């Protein structure tokens, strides 16, 4: 709109008579000779080089300030509004060749008038070494920008580029405050790099936009229409995927644009810093860079990234090559496709499965130690239901069926498994037996024990259940093993009256279907009555002293304390459960396979656990505890 107002003003000014009060009163003025091939008509201003003309070839209006170089009227980066600090410093790369007011520290910087992005020319920067820059003039901010969100944007075409070989950064009075790595374009496509950050808080501060090479000799990049300032309504804040923090010489995190570092960083030795990311903040290793913010006269200050994972970063700071503690800025950018995250998503992938070994199945084992029973060659295995769970088959040995199942999870997480074992009988009266549910490596999920009454003809029914942590794409085997204290045969489904086993599986850390708050912490609490899982297990031998350590994978459980042999108290996080009556706990033995665990005296903050051997004597255990409740 501004350009058209300017044009109309120029046109009518040119058409004024020598006396300003005399006008040409007509509805249309035609400028230019009628002959074919005549040059375009021009409006020229007396005693200046400025002109406006219509281009017959392109059909567009053009203007010139120097009398010879014409540009399309309306070209450049105007029109989006806001305060562009680069507007007076060749933001559209149109002035001179190479474009003026942009300085390259290395490589070549030239104009492109053949494949320009906007207007009549763009800039092309071809860096020849790492850490070279192409920078705009450093420009003092406007006072009205203080306390506002600042914006930076530059359009570019980079079809031969490699992701992260060049980054865009913004400096506040020579200190880097924001950065983003560039990604390649395809063919003639054009994209833009955008940064949204806090404006400086001092009126004398300056802002400067730069491109910087991060490798030796990256591909040349074509740039155009730069914006550095505030209030540009055409630049909207993209989903946050760039995160920055300021860290002191003592590794204290003084500020972050988002809380992505857990606590402060740590200093293993002089010059080294380890920063741990907030749990589950990054799904994969981010792209990270660091810069020194503490100047030291006469020395070369560098900050170098050593190792980056999804959970932490290790970096070092140096002065003249020597490891030295320095203030530094850390910037990390998400690279996973989930960088554009939604605060609330709808979980609709409820995964569950059920099935059984039928009444033709029967398995026997004669041994005092746990192991697989003899496989059944005539056994039938049937699926009842399957909701997004994938294929589940019977465990087998040499093609014959075992009392177990095999499945490959679609997604990683906790799975709840339950199996009803029918008609367990023995070949001797009043003798003790035990069964356990284990995975393919022998890890115990659950167990049970009993004795054989009525001369071994009366069968028992047991249900074993527990939680199992599985990884997507990795096959899981879960099977039933048995033992007999007297070394006589124990038979599963001895009389063959009903199904030998009934299996149920579902993914325990899913919802069915309900809003899942993926970004807003602590919203899935007891307000909506959601069931939650608390779990922990002890993996370094039995717990014979209090407290039991170390606890692996503790969630919702703060500690497990021991009061006497086999007598423990499981302590929940004080705010984790709110309804004691809803809590149900299961126990799994992690080392001694002859122990049974029972729970009693449930409370919001605690539950008692008693572990005994098969003789009923309280015995210390290496336990796994899994509880679910509101």
**DSSP codes joined into one string, 80-134:** S-SEETTTTTTTTS-STTTTTTEEESSSEEEEESSS-SSTT-EEEEE--STT-EE
> Which range, 135-149, 335-349, 428-442, has the best average confidence (pLDDT)?
135-149
Q: 217, 68 in Cβ contact below 8 A?
A: no
Half-sphere exposure of residue 316: CA atoms within 13 angstroms, side-chain side: 13
Closest CA to 395 of 375, 416, 424: 375
Residue 356's pLDDT is 94
Is 604 a domain residue?
yes
Do 359 and 501 lie in one domain? The reply is yes
What are the structure tokens assigned to 380, written together?
């039938």
- Give Cα 227 to chain centroid, integer Å: 29
Is 314 a domain residue?
yes
Q: Domain containing 205 — which CATH number?
A: 2.60.120.260
Is 347 a domain residue?
no
Do 215 and 145 lie in one domain? The reply is yes
**Are β-strands 501-507 and 83-84 bridged in parallel, bridged antiparallel, or unpaired?**
unpaired
Q: With H, G, I as helix, E, B as strand and everything else as coil, classify residue 582.
A: helix
Residue 3's pLDDT is 46
User: What is the C-alpha separation between 410 and 240, in angstroms, rounded?
Assistant: 29
Do 203 and 100 lie in one domain? The reply is yes
Q: 344, 518 in Cβ contact below 8 A?
A: yes
User: What is the C-alpha separation between 212 and 32, in angstroms, rounded?
Assistant: 49
Q: 533, 544 in Cβ contact below 8 A?
A: no
Which DSSP category does 261 fall into?
A: B
Average pLDDT over residues 87-114: 90
Do 332 and 470 lie in one domain? The reply is no
Q: Give residue for tokens 């995927």.
A: 241
For residue 52, count CB atoms less than 10 angstroms from its CB and return exposed for 0-12, middle for 13-18, buried for 19 or more: buried
Q: Domain containing 571 — which CATH number?
A: 2.60.40
User: What is the C-alpha separation between 504 and 502, in angstroms, rounded?
Assistant: 7
Question: Has residue 281 got a pLDDT over 80?
Answer: yes
Is 513 a domain residue?
no
Do 216 and 119 lie in one domain? The reply is yes
> Which range, 67-71, 78-82, 128-132, 523-527, has the best average confidence (pLDDT)?
128-132
Residue 73's pLDDT is 57
Question: Has residue 342 got a pLDDT over 50?
Answer: no
User: What is the C-alpha separation between 79 and 71, in angstroms, rounded?
Assistant: 16
Do 487 and 396 lie in one domain? The reply is yes
Sheet holding 431-439, edge to edge: 392-397, 400-407, 476-484, 431-439, 444-452
| Residue numbers of the domain that contains 95 | 83-230
Residue 102's pLDDT is 94
Do 201 and 255 lie in one domain? The reply is no
Domain boundary among 230, 255, 289: 230
Is 514 a domain residue?
no
> Which range, 358-367, 423-432, 596-605, 611-620, has the best average confidence (pLDDT)?
358-367
Q: Where is average pLDDT lowest: 151-155, 451-455, 513-517?
A: 513-517
Model confidence over 185-240: pLDDT tens digits?
A: 888 888 888 888 888 888 899 999 999 998 899 999 999 999 999 877 666 655 55
Q: How far from 4 is each of 82, 93, 613, CA to CA, in Å?
A: 19, 22, 92
Residue 113's pLDDT is 92
Q: With H, G, I as helix, E, B as strand and everything else as coil, classify residue 9.
A: helix
Q: 299, 309 in Cβ contact below 8 A?
A: no
Do 415 and 306 lie in one domain? The reply is no
User: What is the C-alpha separation between 26 and 28, in angstroms, rounded?
Assistant: 6
Q: 356, 493 in Cβ contact below 8 A?
A: no
User: What is the C-alpha separation between 402 and 396, in angstroms, rounded?
Assistant: 5
Residue 392's pLDDT is 92
Q: With H, G, I as helix, E, B as strand and everything else as coil, classify residue 6.
A: helix
Model confidence over 24-60: pLDDT tens digits?
A: 555 566 666 655 454 567 887 776 777 787 776 666 6
Average pLDDT over residues 489-513: 79
Q: Which residues of 540-568 are buried (b: 16+ CB within 10 A; e: fewer)?
A: eebbeeeebeebeebebbbebebeeebeb
Instruction: Give the chain's count of helices (H) and strands (E).
Output: 1, 46
> Which range, 20-24, 49-53, 131-135, 145-149, has the best average confidence (pLDDT)?
131-135
Phi, psi for residue 339 in degrees, rounded to 5: -60, -35
Residue 376's pLDDT is 93
Q: Give residue for tokens 């580029």.
A: 161
Residue 593's pLDDT is 60
Average pLDDT over residues 488-496: 81
Do 450 and 568 lie in one domain? The reply is no
Average pLDDT over residues 371-399: 89
Model confidence over 570-615: pLDDT tens digits?
A: 998 877 888 888 788 877 776 656 677 888 888 889 999 988 887 7
Do 319 and 432 lie in one domain? The reply is no
Specify the number of domains making up the chain: 5
Query: Is the pTM here over 0.75, yes or no?
Result: no
Do 196 and 92 lie in one domain? The reply is yes
Is 444 a domain residue?
yes
Residue 206's pLDDT is 93
User: What is the C-alpha separation between 441 and 593, in angstroms, rounded?
Assistant: 14
Q: With H, G, I as helix, E, B as strand and everything else as coil, classify residue 230.
A: strand
Residue 28's pLDDT is 63
Do 302 and 367 lie in one domain? The reply is no
Question: Has residue 91 got a pLDDT over 70?
Answer: yes
Is 345 a domain residue?
no
Domain boundary among 20, 44, 72: 72
Question: Has residue 141 got a pLDDT over 80?
Answer: yes
Domain boundary among 473, 507, 541: 507
Is 518 a domain residue?
no
Residue 328's pLDDT is 87
Residue 510's pLDDT is 63
Looking at per-residue pLDDT, the higher value among 520 and 32 belongs to 32
Residue % of the chain over a pLDDT of 70: 78
């Amino acid at each position: 709109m501004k350009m058209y107002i300017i044009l109309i003003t120029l046109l009518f000014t040119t058409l004024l008579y020598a006396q300003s009060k005399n006008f040409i009163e007509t509805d249309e003025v035609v400028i230019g000779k009628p002959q074919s091939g005549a040059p375009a008509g021009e409006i020229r201003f007396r005693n200046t080089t400025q002109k406006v003309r219509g281009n017959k070839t392109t059909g567009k209006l053009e203007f010139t300030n120097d009398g010879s170089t014409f540009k399309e009227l309306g070209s450049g980066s105007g029109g989006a509004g806001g305060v562009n600090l680069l507007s007076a410093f060749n933001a559209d790369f149109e002035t001179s060749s190479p474009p003026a007011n942009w300085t390259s520290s290395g490589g070549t910087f030239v104009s492109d008038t053949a494949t320009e992005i906007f207007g009549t020319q763009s800039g092309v920067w071809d860096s020849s070494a790492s850490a070279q820059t192409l920078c705009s003039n450093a420009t003092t901010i406007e006072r009205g920008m203080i306390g506002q969100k600042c914006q930076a944007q530059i359009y570019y075409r980079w079809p031969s580029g490699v992701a992260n070989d060049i980054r865009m950064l913004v400096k506040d009075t020579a200190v880097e405050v924001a950065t983003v790595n560039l990604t390649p374009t395809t063919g003639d496509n054009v994209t833009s790099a955008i940064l949204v950050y806090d404006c400086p808080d001092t009126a004398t501060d300056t802002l400067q936009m730069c491109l910087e090479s991060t490798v030796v000799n990256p591909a040349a990049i074509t740039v155009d229409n730069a914006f550095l300032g505030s209030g540009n309504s055409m630049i909207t804040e993209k989903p946050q995927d760039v995160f920055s923090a300021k860290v002191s010489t003592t590794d204290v995190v003084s500020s972050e644009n988002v809380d992505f570092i857990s606590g402060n960083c740590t200093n293993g030795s002089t010059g080294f810093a380890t920063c741990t990311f907030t749990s589950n903040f990054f799904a994969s290793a981010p792209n990270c860079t660091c810069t020194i913010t503490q100047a030291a006269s006469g020395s070369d200050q560098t900050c170098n990234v050593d190792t980056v994972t999804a959970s932490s970063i290790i970096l070092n700071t140096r002065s003249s090559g020597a490891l030295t503690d320095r203030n530094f800025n850390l910037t990390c950018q998400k690279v996973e496709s989930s960088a554009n995250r939604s605060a609330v998503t709808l979980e609709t992938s409820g995964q569950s499965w059920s099935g059984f070994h039928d009444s033709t199945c029967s398995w026997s084992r004669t041994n005092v130690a746990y192991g697989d029973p003899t496989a059944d060659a005539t056994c039938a295995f049937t699926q009842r239901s399957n909701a997004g769970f994938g294929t589940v088959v019977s465990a087998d040995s040499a093609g014959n069926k075992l009392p177990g199942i095999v499945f490959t999870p679609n997604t990683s997480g906790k799975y709840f498994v339950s199996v009803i074992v029918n008609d367990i009988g023995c070949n001797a009266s009043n003798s003790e037996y035990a069964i356990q549910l284990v995975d393919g490596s022998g890890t115990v999920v659950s167990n049970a024990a009993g004795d054989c009454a009525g001369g071994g003809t009366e069968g028992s029914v047991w249900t074993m259940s527990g939680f199992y942590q599985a990884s997507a794409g990795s096959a899981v085997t879960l099977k039933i093993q048995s033992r007999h204290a007297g070394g006589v045969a124990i038979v599963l489904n001895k009389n063959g009256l009903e199904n030998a086993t009934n299996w149920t599986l579902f993914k325990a850390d899913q919802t069915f279907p309900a809003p899942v708050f993926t970004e807003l912490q602590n919203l899935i609490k007891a307000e909506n009555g959601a069931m939650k899982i608390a779990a922990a297990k002890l993996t370094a031998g039995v717990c014979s002293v209090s407290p039991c350590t170390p606890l692996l994978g503790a969630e919702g459980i703060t500690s497990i304390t021991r009061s006497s042999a086999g007598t423990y108290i499981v302590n929940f996080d004080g705010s984790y459960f709110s309804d004691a009556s809803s809590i149900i706990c299961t126990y799994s033995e992690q080392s001694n396979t002859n122990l049974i665990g029972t729970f009693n005296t449930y409370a919001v903050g605690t539950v008692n656990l008693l572990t005994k051997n098969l003789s009923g004597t309280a015995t210390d255990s290496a336990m796994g505890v899994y509880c679910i409740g509101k």
